[in-house]
DNA sequence: GCCCAGGCACTCA
DNA sequence: TGAGTGCCTGGG
């Protein structure tokens, strides 16, 4: 991977396995706005980033080398060798081979723990546009103004202390619905140190999952999302309805299979790459509506 | 108006 | 230990 400085921009060339839209729109994060094709505003780590593709390069607009190296390199997971991960997954499994070919430019983002935790608590029983709206509402109300792009104001996701001032009724006004009390419980546990990501480093993935599930509104699915997208646990395998469908469809003869069974088979098959496999499969399943009712289903491989 | 969405808590057997 | 049910909200 190579980058150079060009005026106020950092320009990334000679990279692989990265397509902005595939990485942002594969359901792992909620803090981005599409400006046009391969041109996005991204909010992360208290910064507003304008990122776009230009003649095969990726431009990080108005970005210092310090921010690029200190924030974005890690956020977009550019230090990881995705070629070998994709080869490993594809070589042993035809389904994965197809799923990887379908979206070879997905990278697993390294998001902020607290933001990721609250965002995926909000995600339960909810749709992506709605999740984005709720996270944005919370940021606008409790976060800090960080900039304007194309006439749109952007706000950072609040620190735990800032969000702790929120009453349940106020969170409801942000359209969190029944999840408001879950958010309050999560904030309390983070501030008290009851939930402390620094302590996680010495724990196994199963132990971290149990810790996270002490928070109200955090079950196995949300815990695995938080571990995969913000704690670098690549063996986490978030099993939501789509992953359940795609796994049942391809590995269990289309039979409705319990999440526990799916979870175990994923770990047996993919091991420490389970999280990457999940992301390729999830994207593939959602795009082709694999396993959804016939009305919604489109034919695999015809698009 | 009804149904459901990237789950989870709660209840009851 | 597992199955069944309700949940804010808004778009189809």
| CB of A67 closer than 8 Å to CB of A37 | no
For chain C, which bases have at least one atom within 7 A of a protein Cβ? 3, 7-11
| Helix, strand, coil fractions of chain A, as percent rounded to 5 | 50, 15, 35
- Whether A295 has a pLDDT exceeding 60, the answer reads no
Residue holding tokens 């980058």? Answer: A3
Footprint of strand B on the protein (CB under 7 A): A 26-28, 120, 123-128, 178, 213, 215-223, 225, 238, 240-242, 286
Give distance CA A47 / C1' B2 (Å): 42
Give distance CA A66 / C1' B12 (Å): 58
Give distance CA A303 / C1' C12 (Å): 24
For chain B, which bases have at least one atom within 7 A of a protein Cβ? 5-10
**Rounded Cα distance, A238 and A261, in Å:** 13
The nucleotide minimizing the C1' distance to residue A127's CA is B5
Q: What is the pLDDT of residue A74?
A: 97
Give distance CA A114 / C1' B2 (Å): 36
Q: Does the model's pTM come out above 0.75?
A: yes
pLDDT tens digits, one per residue of A182-210:
999 999 999 999 999 999 999 999 999 99
Q: What is the pLDDT of residue A292?
A: 65
pLDDT tens digits, one per residue of A104-158:
999 999 999 999 999 999 999 999 999 999 999 999 999 999 999 999 999 999 9
Q: pLDDT-derived band of residue A293, with 50, 70 and 90 as boundaries?
A: low
- Tokens found for residue A70: 């200190």
The nucleotide minimizing the C1' distance to residue A212's CA is B8
- Whether A51 has a pLDDT exceeding 60, the answer reads yes
Q: How many CB atoms lie within 10 A of CB A282?
A: 23
What is the SS3 assignment for A215? coil
The nucleotide minimizing the C1' distance to residue A124's CA is B7
Question: Phi then psi for A175, rounded to 5 degrees?
Answer: 75, 30
């Amino acid at each position: 991977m190579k980058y150079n400085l060009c005026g106020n921009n950092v320009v990334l060339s000679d990279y692989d396995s990265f397509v902005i839209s595939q990485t942002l729109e594969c359901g792992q994060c909620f803090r981005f706005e599409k400006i046009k094709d391969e041109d996005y505003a991204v909010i992360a780590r208290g910064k507003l980033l304008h990122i776009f593709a230009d003649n095969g390069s990726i431009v990080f607009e108005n970005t210092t080398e310090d921010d690029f190296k200190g924030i974005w390199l890690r956020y977009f997971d550019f230090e990881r060798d995705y070629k070998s991960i994709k080869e490993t997954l594809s070589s042993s499994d035809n389904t994965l081979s197809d799923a990887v070919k379908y979206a070879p430019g997905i990278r697993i983002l390294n998001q902020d723990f607290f933001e990721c935790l609250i965002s995926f608590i909000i995600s339960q029983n909810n749709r992506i546009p709605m999740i984005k709206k709720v996270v944005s509402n919370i940021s606008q109300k409790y976060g800090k103004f960080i900039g304007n792009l194309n006439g749109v104001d952007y706000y950072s996701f609040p620190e735990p202390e800032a969000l702790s001032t929120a009453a349940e009724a106020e969170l409801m006004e942000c359209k969190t619905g029944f999840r408001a009390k879950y958010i309050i419980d999560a904030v309390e546990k983070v501030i008290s140190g009851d939930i402390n990501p620094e302590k996680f480093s010495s724990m196994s993935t199963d132990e971290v999952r149990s810790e996270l599930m002490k928070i109200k509104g955090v079950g196995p699915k949300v815990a695995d999302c938080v571990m995969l997208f913000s704690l670098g646990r690549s063996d986490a395998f978030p099993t939501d309805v789509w992953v359940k469908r795609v796994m049942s469809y391809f590995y269990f003869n289309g039979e409705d299979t319990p999440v526990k069974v799916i979870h175990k088979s994923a770990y047996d098959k993919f091991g420490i790459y389970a999280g990457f496999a999940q992301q390729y499969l999830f994207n593939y399943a959602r795009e082709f509506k694999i396993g959804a009712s016939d009305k919604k289903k489109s034919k695999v491989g015809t698009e």
